[in-house]
Structure 1
Amino acid sequence: MPSSSLNIALVTLADLSNEPAAGVHAVHVTELARALGQQGHRVTVYTRRTDESARPRVRLGAGATVEHLDVGPALPLDEAGVLPHVKAFTEELARRLSQGRQRPDLVHAHGWLGGLAAYAAVQDTGIPLVQSFHGLGVVENRRPGGRRTVHPARIRIERALGRGVTRVLAGCDHEADELVRMGVARPQITVVPYGVDGERFRQTGPTMPRGRRPRLVMVCGDLENGGVATAIRALVHVPDAELVVAGGPSRENLETDPVVQRLTTLAKELHVSDRTLFLGRLPRKDVPKLLRTARLALCLAPHQPSGMTPLEAMACGVPVVTVPAGASADSVLDGVTGLHVPAGQPVAIGRALRRLLGEETTLSAWAIAAADRAHSRYAWERIGAETVRAYAGLLPEPEPEPVAEEHQDEEEPVGAGV
């Protein structure tokens, strides 16, 4: 490895074992580890074993591995289920971090539970600790029903971590502003956005079947708070288009899911059910196949929309119509790679969609700009390099190599030997 390479520990308690259905947090950690490894660093991801068949150590790519710690049941658990096992995870993590060659130059924790474990594990070690939250509890609390889903300890712990770690990496400017309001010092925060896999998400490649109608696509994990109801209401004002929604429960559970039932009923009441299709949760390998069939991608969540979905759509050459909140406000350039629309205003959104679908030249120009921006600004190679630059200021300056003394023979007097 090059002399400037780092030994980096990434710590997360997200489920990394189910790649086809991985969430934003898990995808970010996995792709970041690969990007850092490809740049010559030695990266170890520490996480909890959530699958009995998972090997203790798994290679992600050049220089990057995952170590599964046997803590708690080998099953996927929600945050409340993981929390009782954080102490045991911390103890095993601290043991591994202290083992000679495994001692990292720095630890980068992901999520509030990963941060809680990492913070305790590095105490009194002198190892710098970097924190990424991948969404904040104070923002999720603002969603309808958010107070029921956000763990009671999360906001307090996120605030303490933000103030106590060496550096916080925010995923976007909005998150950085929220952290400042939580009491984190602005100089302690560095904005490093999410990245996109340009090999998987690209303009050319296989596509899903589609009809002749212009297709509007939404990809969101939370159908209740993801702006899907707004999209269905907006569809009333876009008479020739169809709406395809991916996310939520698995396909086999769509008919019994209460949120899908409510959204389906809404579509029937508005007489757009024949133009509204729910696909359920898609494997990640199928998401680009769907996005390539879209004329426009919709990201209408009013609170903390996914930072990854607009990037993946843009990388596939699909302009994005988005609420300018969270990472979308940074990644989607209004009037260049997509359109910013007001949250929760289906009439205005519908009219904007109808107008855009009639402007073929505009859509073609936006598609080119969207793909170019996604593949240049948000390539994982660049995100990895920005992350390392954020690390660099936390590490001691390398000691200069000693300069060897030069021994020269005594010079002869000028003119000697003449």
Structure 2
Amino acid sequence: MRIAMVSEHASPLAALGGVDAGGQNVYVARLTEELARRGHDVTVYTRRDSTDLPDRVPLPGGAVVEHVPAGPPEAVPKDELFPYMPGFGAHLARAWNHERSDIVHAHFWMSGMASRIGAHAHGIPVVQTFHALGTVKRRHQGRRDTSPFERIGIERQIGLGCERVLATCTDEVHELAEMGVPPRQVSVVPCGVDVEHFHPGADPGAAPARKHRYRLLACGRLVRRKGYDQAIRALARIPDAELLVAGGPAPGLLETDPEAQRLRRLARRTGVSDRVRMLGAVAPADMPALMRGADLVLCTPVYEPFGIVPLEAMACAVPVVATDVGGHRDTVADGDTGRLVPPGDSGAIAAAACDLLAEEGTRRRYGTAGRARVLARFTWQRVADGTEQVYRRVAVRHELPREVA
């Protein structure tokens, strides 16, 4: 099957940790890799954001990344890319006129907009993954939401007009229904995790050596909605523990990062600055060991469309304390692989963390159950299985009639 992945701002080649580089990049990269491994012809179309980039970049396994000229060839915040989507779509139309894809999988709403423009003339079916919804972002960010005004209306049009919406969690199905997109139009296929990269270590049953302090870890993009402030406030109620925050710019640039500065001021005000360590960007190769060295991983966003960090922690057999939002409700089994707590409630975070830190046996049991849950439901192979099923159902309905001799 010839598959076109359209991901206008989230390139599979991007370095993770920036404001606009996170879970979507990982999703596109790993799904592309797995589909190519299965023999599919996969091209990822993403925006050219540098003059140094070649037109096409081969990926390991046989897929290709194609850089689309749309807007200036420089870094542009994703919320400012909207005016360039018609040009992006026109490029896709020309590319698919030369070599028609069997299916288009659009990632994020602006990719959906461009994909509809590109696919329309060729009758190519479009599958849409939003990764995040404008209604949710506006609800939580209010006036701080920098999305274009047109976003929510266009998302509704895409949801109703595409062949299939591929949601990453059940919470998204409910949000789409509130927008007017019926559940019968939606299939749920979650994000995944690399279980060979993220693993418990040589002996998953062995207890880690006791450290001077319990270690709590929070990681991801260094943006306000990730709720690191709640983790810091919770730390004030968790004695004999330190908090490591991994993510954001390189360590040498943390001093000038606004969110890092805000969190450090909060740590000083709450009296825990000596127990908070901000690590900055951590190389992907080093993340599993960092997670395995933690007693608990804290995932405390105010909202989270899916959230890959809980899966990474569970794959490493580390229990999770996560806010009861979005994809966390599907990934974290409350009372089995971790604890779900109300968003924005630092007291509840602290209480759950203290309970688990006091019970080493429970932590080990949660860790073992977390690894088993990931292996059963959240490997990239499982994600590709579900995605392939959607592609095939959609493609069958759009097969071109064969010429009769």
Provide the TM-score with structure 2 as the length reference: 0.90
1:112 touches 1:133 (CA, 8 Å); kept in 2?
A: yes
Instruction: Give the drift of 1:131.
Output: 0.4
Matches within 5 A, 1:102-113: 102-113=99-110
Structure (1 or 2) with the greater helix fraction? 2
Instruction: Give the drift of 1:305.
Output: 5.5
Same amino acid, percent of matched pairs:
42
Instruction: Give the drift of 1:144.
Output: 3.8
1:378 corresponds to 2:378: yes
Instruction: Give the drift of 1:48.
Output: 1.7
CA distance in 2, matches of 1:157, 1:147: 20
**Which residue is 1:309 aligned to?**
309
Cα deviations across residues 311-365 of structure 1 (Å, max 9, x unaligned)? 1111111111111211111011011111111222222321221111011111111
Q: CA RMSD in A?
A: 2.2
CA distance in 1, matches of 2:61, 2:105: 19
Q: Which amino acid aligns with 2:65?
A: V
Q: Which amino acid aligns with 2:220?
A: C
CA distance in 1, matches of 2:396, 2:305: 37
- Cα 1:333–1:104 shift into 2, 3 Å: same
Point out the more displaced range, 66-75 or 361-370. 66-75
Matches within 5 A, 1:346-385: 346-385=346-385
CA distance in 2, matches of 1:151, 1:251: 32
Cα deviations across residues 174-228 of structure 1 (Å, max 9, x unaligned)? 01110111011211100010011122222228xxxx9521111111314422121
- Structure 2 spans left out of the alignment, 5+ residues: 203-209
Instruction: Give the drift of 1:277.
Output: 1.1
Aligned to 1:139, which of 136, 139, 161? 136
CA distance in 1, matches of 2:289, 2:49: 28
CA distance in 1, matches of 2:148, 2:69: 24
CA distance in 2, matches of 1:173, 1:228: 25
Q: Secondary structure at the match of 1:122?
A: helix
Matches within 5 A, 1:19-418: 19-21=15-17, 22-99=21-98, 102-145=99-142, 147-204=144-201, 212-304=212-304, 306-396=306-396
CA distance in 2, matches of 1:109, 1:171: 13
2:321 touches 2:352 (CA, 8 Å); kept in 1?
A: no
Q: Which amino acid aligns with 1:166?
A: E
- Cα 1:20–1:225 shift into 2, 3 Å: closer
1:192 touches 1:383 (CA, 8 Å); kept in 2?
A: yes
**Which residue is 1:410 aligned to?**
none
The higher radius of gyration belongs to 1
1:10 corresponds to 2:5: yes
**Which residue is 1:414 aligned to?**
none
Q: Secondary structure at the match of 2:391?
A: helix
Cα deviations across residues 389-415 of structure 1 (Å, max 9, x unaligned)? 11222122789x9xxxxxxxxxxxxxx
Q: Which amino acid aligns with 1:392?
A: R
1:168 touches 1:190 (CA, 8 Å); kept in 2?
A: yes
Q: Secondary structure at the match of 2:58?
A: strand
Q: Secondary structure at the match of 1:149?
A: coil
- Structure 1 spans left out of the alignment, 5+ residues: 1-5, 402-418
CA distance in 1, matches of 2:143, 2:35: 35
1:11 touches 1:47 (CA, 8 Å); kept in 2?
A: yes
Point out the more displaced range, 114-123 or 48-57. 48-57
2:222 touches 2:259 (CA, 8 Å); kept in 1?
A: no
2:104 touches 2:115 (CA, 8 Å); kept in 1?
A: yes
Q: Secondary structure at the match of 1:98?
A: helix
CA distance in 1, matches of 2:243, 2:324: 21
Q: How many residues align?
A: 390
CA distance in 1, matches of 2:170, 2:130: 14
CA distance in 2, matches of 1:43, 1:274: 49
Instruction: Give the drift of 1:147.
Output: 4.2
CA distance in 1, matches of 2:30, 2:143: 29
Q: Secondary structure at the match of 2:81?
A: helix
Cα deviations across residues 263-284 of structure 1 (Å, max 9, x unaligned)? 2222222221111111123333
Q: Secondary structure at the match of 1:143?
A: helix
**Which residue is 1:408 aligned to?**
none
CA distance in 1, matches of 2:143, 2:336: 33
Q: Secondary structure at the match of 1:187?
A: helix
CA distance in 1, matches of 2:263, 2:60: 41
2:304 touches 2:328 (CA, 8 Å); kept in 1?
A: no
CA distance in 1, matches of 2:250, 2:139: 27
CA distance in 1, matches of 2:8, 2:89: 11
CA distance in 1, matches of 2:106, 2:365: 39
2:191 touches 2:306 (CA, 8 Å); kept in 1?
A: no
- Cα 1:181–1:382 shift into 2, 3 Å: same
